């Protein structure tokens, strides 16, 4: 079987775009052979912001333009790949392509998490699909697994480490004893973190991915404003040490969980997870997603969550799928809601045990004052500790650590309001969840 090649328009030719170009150049014959000649992919236009910029791949100069609309409107372009990021111009590009009835491939998790409902509605209206495997966990095929391979399962939970930058920083703090700032600088020097690492370290990059997985798993759009997100900026060496001594490691963890009342829990935050759990061994820039379905049971997806080749691999897989859809005129539209609405569980109603670090004045009675406030809120204490800093044995201010029994997060928040008003507490407490991951 053979057919004419399918024209690709790339909007964005940075790390991932260059990787897509190189993958198609080097593996095009393999792709064609594996599709029995049905899919031949040919990049015909490339839109970039700066034509003079040095790039990682050597594509012919005549393919380049600074006008993304020219790419979308080019009659030789059958599929549009959006790789510029952001949620404004990227939205315009994807919407224009859908209106032109040109299938879209994107790795833009922020765009789909924040404006996905609009785009998926337009996709359905125009009968033109959006493909987005690269939006979550780089080269790990978790989107296809949730959409297709596990379509006969009720997804009970998804627990993931899905931001490589934060994971690298926490590993270096744990294994090399680096401070947060030093580990972040090292990640930037190695190219694992952007010059502006905000979305990685504040938790939102991971949260956008968790929102997409929740949307696909439970069938209704999720409002990011209702999702609880905390990053790793406040993690300190003392927290890492405590986790080690208790048999845990600190990870930026995404939790998506269905509850018996029909509500869906979605949250992202640094957490203590048992060192014996398989997710504890996910280090460096690797990602892992542990999924539990009512039929498949437990499944683990592991691999590189970012980088040129892994992400390009997912983009090219979507291009092949999109090419098949073009040829056969069948296939999914990326996401079609199958529930009109769904309820997110309030973060205040979610329950775990907790590690709480209080910056306090070093004077007698501090433990009793904090313990009294916790007892008044009905929260049990499993342990307390006041670490001594050998370099500052006579410091006026110290960190007091409390380990707390399982309780609703809202109950803890109310207790912390009272504790923060105590004269002995010098700054906001730092809270880590202690996850059982059973």
261 phi/psi in degrees, rounded to 5 = -80, 5
- Same domain (yes/no): 81, 153: no
The set of catalytic residues is 209
% of residues, the chain, pLDDT over 70: 94
The answer to whether 138 touches 302, Cβ cutoff 8 Å, is: no
Q: Which residues, in sequence order, are CB contacts of 185 under 8 Å at separation 6+?
A: none
Helix/strand/coil for 385: strand
- Same domain (yes/no): 262, 386: no
Question: What pLDDT digit, counting tens, does each position of 178-205 carry?
Answer: 999 999 999 999 888 888 899 999 999 9
Report the candidate in 417, 409, 410, 415 with the shortest Cα–Cα distance to residue 433: 409
The answer to whether 401 touches 242, Cβ cutoff 8 Å, is: yes
The answer to whether residue 337 is domain-embedded is no
E strands in 259-396: 264-274, 286-293, 297-304, 351-361, 381-385
Domain boundary, last residue among 273, 293, 328: 328
- CATH code for the domain in which residue 407 is found: 3.30.70.260
Task: Provide the domain count of the chain.
Answer: 3
CA 329 to chain centre: 32
Give me the half-sphere count of Cα atoms (radius 13 Å) on the Cβ side of residue 46.
22
Give me the half-sphere count of Cα atoms (radius 13 Å) on the Cβ side of residue 344.
19
| Eight-class DSSP state of 147 | I
Residues forming beta bridges with residue 299, ordered by sequence position: 291
- Same domain (yes/no): 316, 273: no
- Same domain (yes/no): 20, 79: yes
The answer to whether residue 340 is domain-embedded is no
- Quick check: 411 pLDDT over 90? yes
| Eight-class DSSP state of 333 | -
pLDDT of residue 266: 97
Helix/strand/coil for 317: helix
What is the Cα–Cα distance from 172 to 163, expressed in whole angstroms?
15
* Residue numbers of the domain that contains 193: 142-304
Average pLDDT, the chain: 90
The answer to whether residue 28 is domain-embedded is yes
- Residue 96, number of CB atoms within 10 A of its CB: 17
429 phi/psi in degrees, rounded to 5 = -65, 155
What is the Cα–Cα distance from 374 to 211, expressed in whole angstroms?
33
pLDDT of residue 342: 83
The answer to whether residue 334 is domain-embedded is no
- Same domain (yes/no): 146, 295: yes
- Quick check: 301 pLDDT over 90? yes
Question: What pLDDT digit, counting tens, does each position of 349-395 carry?
Answer: 999 999 999 999 878 888 899 999 999 999 999 998 875 444 444 45
- Same domain (yes/no): 281, 399: no
C-alpha distances in Å from residue 351, one per residue of 46, 222, 348, 384: 49, 21, 8, 20
- Same domain (yes/no): 124, 172: no
- Same domain (yes/no): 274, 147: yes
pLDDT of residue 390: 43
Q: Which whole number is the average pLDDT over 70-74?
A: 96
- Same domain (yes/no): 146, 129: no
Radius of gyration of the chain (CA): 24
* Region of residue 219 (left: phi > 0; alpha: psi -120 to 50; beta: else): left
pLDDT band at 305 (very low <50, low <70, confident <90, very high): confident
The answer to whether residue 342 is domain-embedded is no
Q: Which whole number is the average pLDDT over 409-417?
A: 96
The answer to whether residue 18 is domain-embedded is yes
- Same domain (yes/no): 206, 180: yes
- CATH code for the domain in which residue 298 is found: 3.30.360.10
The answer to whether residue 336 is domain-embedded is no
What is the Cα–Cα distance from 354 to 381, expressed in whole angstroms?
10
- Quick check: 87 pLDDT over 70? yes
- Same domain (yes/no): 224, 157: yes
Helix/strand/coil for 354: strand
What is the Cα–Cα distance from 157 to 81, expressed in whole angstroms?
31
Q: Between 127 and 386, whose confidence is greater?
A: 127
The answer to whether residue 1 is domain-embedded is no
- Same domain (yes/no): 123, 197: no
Query: The tokens of 14 are what?
Result: 């940075």
pLDDT of residue 335: 64
């Amino acid at each position: 079987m053979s057919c004419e090649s399918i024209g690709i328009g790339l909007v964005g030719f940075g790390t991932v775009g260059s990787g897509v170009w190189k993958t198609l150049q080097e593996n095009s014959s393999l792709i064609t052979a594996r599709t029995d000649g049905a899919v031949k992919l040919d990049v015909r236009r490339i839109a970039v912001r700066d034509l003079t910029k040095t790039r990682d791949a050597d594509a012919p100069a005549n393919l380049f333009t600074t006008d993304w609309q020219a790419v979308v409107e080019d009659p030789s372009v059958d599929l549009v790949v959006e790789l510029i990021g952001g949620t404004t111009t990227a939205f315009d590009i994807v919407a224009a392509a859908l209106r032109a009835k040109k299938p879209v491939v994107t790795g833009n998790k922020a765009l789909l998490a924040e404006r996905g409902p609009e785009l998926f509605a337009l996709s359905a209206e125009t009968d033109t699909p959006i493909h987005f495997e690269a939006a979550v966990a780089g080269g790990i095929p978790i989107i296809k697994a949730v959409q297709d391979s596990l379509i006969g399962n009720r997804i009970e939970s998804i627990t993931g480490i899905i931001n490589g930058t934060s994971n690298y920083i926490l590993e270096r703090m744990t294994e090399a004893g680096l401070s947060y700032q030093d580990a972040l600088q090292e990640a930037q020097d190695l190219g694992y973190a952007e010059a502006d690492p905000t979305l990685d370290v504040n938790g939102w990059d991971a949260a956008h991915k968790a929102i997409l997985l929740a949307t696909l798993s439970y069938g209704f759009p999720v409002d990011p404003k209702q999702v609880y997100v905390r990053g790793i900026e406040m993690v300190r060496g003392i927290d890492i040490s405590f986790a080690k001594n208790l048999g845990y490691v600190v990870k930026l963890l995404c939790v998506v969980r269905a509850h018996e009342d029909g509500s869906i829990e979605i949250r992202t935050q640094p957490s203590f997870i048992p060192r014996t759990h398989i997710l504890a061994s996910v280090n460096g820039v690797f990602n892992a997603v542990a999924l539990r379905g009512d039929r498949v049971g437990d499944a683990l997806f592991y691999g590189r969550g970012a980088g040129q080749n892994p992400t390009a691999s997912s983009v090219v897989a979507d291009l092949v799928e999109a090419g098949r859809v073009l040829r056969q005129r069948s296939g999914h539209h990326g996401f079609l809601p199958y529930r009109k609405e769904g309820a997110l569980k309030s973060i205040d109603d979610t329950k775990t045990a907790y590690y709480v670090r209080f910056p306090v004045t070093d004077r007698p009675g501090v433990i009793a004052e904090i313990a009294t406030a916790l007892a008044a809120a009905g929260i049990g204490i499993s342990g307390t500790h006041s670490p001594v800093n050998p370099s500052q044995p006579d410091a006026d201010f110290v960190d007091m650590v409390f380990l707390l029994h399982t309780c609703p997060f809202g109950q803890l928040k109310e207790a912390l309001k009272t504790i923060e008003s105590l004269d002995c507490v010098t700054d906001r407490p730092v809270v880590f969840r202690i996850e059982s991951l059973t």
